[in-house]
Structure 1
Amino acid sequence: MYASKQQLSREIGISTGCIHEMMVNNDLDFETAVDILLETKDRIGIPREKMISGLPVCIIDGRTYRTVQEVACEFHLSTNAIASYKNKNGYTGMLETLCAMQKETKECYVVDGEAKTCNELLKMGYTSSSYRQVPKKRIPRYPQLAGKDFVNNCVDAMKIYREVKEERMEQEQGIQPMM
């Protein structure tokens, strides 16, 4: 039992603003919002004594990313590229999206050992029929993701949050008073 919501907030390391935002955005009571946030925080692996003012999007190699924009900046991608790739391919988590983007390749043409696009060849004086004779190879569509590890020491915090919230909502709906 806590004397106030602020005392509980300090004890569990979740700001009252974060709890309030969860309540307003999801039409939840205080206790349910706290339960969801605390369970999510525990599953993510954030120590209870560490105060958070919001849930991170993900943790990659031990570094916490609070927004998609932070992830995009770190890996030299646009937020639109991440969002459209995620939505187009039906991914639900940031890490699975980045893993899939990492595997994505595109075809290019090789001229003097360098990868060139069709447009670059046309600018170099090739015609639409002559560039088809140039050798082709597949290269990473997102080379900035090459060699990055999005599996080990990584946590998809938003995916965990959605799972916890969904589990809690199912519990809430399953425990309805009998008439």
Structure 2
Amino acid sequence: MRMEEALFLPIRQMNKPQYEITCRGKTYQSKRAFARENNIGIVCIREMMENHGVDFETAAAILLEIKEKAGIPAEQMITRFPMCMIRGKEYRTLIELAAELKISAAAVSTYKNRNGCGGILETLCQMQKEERETYFLDGRAVSYKELMQMGYTSVSYQTVPKKKIPLYPQLAGHDFVTGCVDVAKIYEEVKSERLEQEKGMQMNM
């Protein structure tokens, strides 16, 4: 072949061929086309596939449903879902949220597990309701030890009035309902439901 002829030959496509996929009734030219159009990172989809043994279409449909139910704008790119959103602010982890609330992440996690709460926001709402009874003197809470140090006896301290105060005062005044979305909870609910559907379909085949 002469050099002049080679110049006019079409350039060979070196990339791997791209195959059409159909997700929720819509056909896309390729997997990357789906990810690009729906603003869901391809790595996020592959992670779902690897962790749960599902095909691309199933993983993509699950993530798209999670994004929609969480109210995340269609134009927002998702490479990793946040744990929750509070009035537009995203929190990636419990540690991040707990640090802002000035409470131990371990305390929140332990309370959630012990009380069977459905999600982090539900947990925080329940924690806000928790109270403890304490002695109240001169407008402030005091402990039994403090009363003893103040000169009260094992008999006279019983005259000090008691009052219920929040068990977790750090959470007082916070609103975990208005404009709040528990993305992690939605993620688990959608994922579990879709995986059960897939399992049922495979058993019926």
Question: When the two structures are superposed, what TM-score results if normalisation uses the length of structure 1?
Answer: 0.88
Deviation at 1:51, TM superposition (A): 0.5
Over aligned residue pairs, what C-alpha RMSD do you find? 2.1
The separation in 2 between residues aligned to 1:178 and 1:58, in whole angstroms, is: 36
Which range is displaced more, 134-143 or 119-128?
Answer: 119-128
Match of 1:8 among 28, 34, 53: 34
1:18 positional shift: 1.6
Of the two, which has the highest radius of gyration? 2
Deviation at 1:82, TM superposition (A): 0.7
Change (3 A) 1:21 1:116: farther
Partner of 1:44: 70
Which secondary structure state, in structure 2, belongs to the residue aligned with residue 55 of structure 1?
coil
Q: 1:172 to 1:116 in 2, by over 3 A?
A: same
Local SS of the residue matching 2:67: helix
Larger displacement relative to structure 2 (14-23 or 150-159): 14-23
2:12 corresponds to: none
Classify 1:108/1:3 alpha carbon distance in 2 versus 1 (closer, same or farther; 3 Å). same
Match for 2:104: what amino acid?
A: S
| 1:77-113 per-position Cα deviation (integer Å, ceiling 9, x unaligned) | 1110110010011102111101001111111111222
Correspondence 1:104-123 to 2 at 5 A = 104-122=130-148
Aligned position for 1:62: 88
Aligned to 1:28: 54
**Residue type at the aligned position of 1:105:** E
Establish whether residue 101 from structure 1 lines up as the match of residue 127 from structure 2. yes
Name which structure has the greater RCO, CA cutoff 8 Å, separation 6+.
1
Query: Which residue is equivalent to 2:99?
Result: 73
d(CA) in 2 for partners of 1:67 and 1:51? 18
TM-score by length of 2: 0.78
Identify if the C-alpha distance between structure 1 residues 130 and 103 changes in structure 2 by more than 3 Å, giving closer, same or farther. Answer: same
Structure 2: 5+ residue runs without aligned partners? 1-26
- Match for residue 170 of structure 2? 144
* Counterpart residue type for residue 32 of structure 1: T
Q: Using the alignment, how far apart are the partners of 2:44 and 2:145 within structure 1?
A: 49
Q: 1:83 to 1:129 in 2, by over 3 A?
A: farther
Give 5+ residue unaligned stretches, structure 1.
Answer: none
**Is the partner of 1:7 in helix, strand or coil?**
helix
Q: How many residues align?
A: 179
Distance change (3 Å), C-alpha of 1:130 and 1:177: same
Q: 1:139 to 1:175 in 2, by over 3 A?
A: same
Q: 1:143-162 counterparts in 2 under 5 A?
A: 143-162=169-188
Alpha-carbon distance between aligned partners in 2 of 1:127 and 1:31, rounded to the nearest angstrom: 73
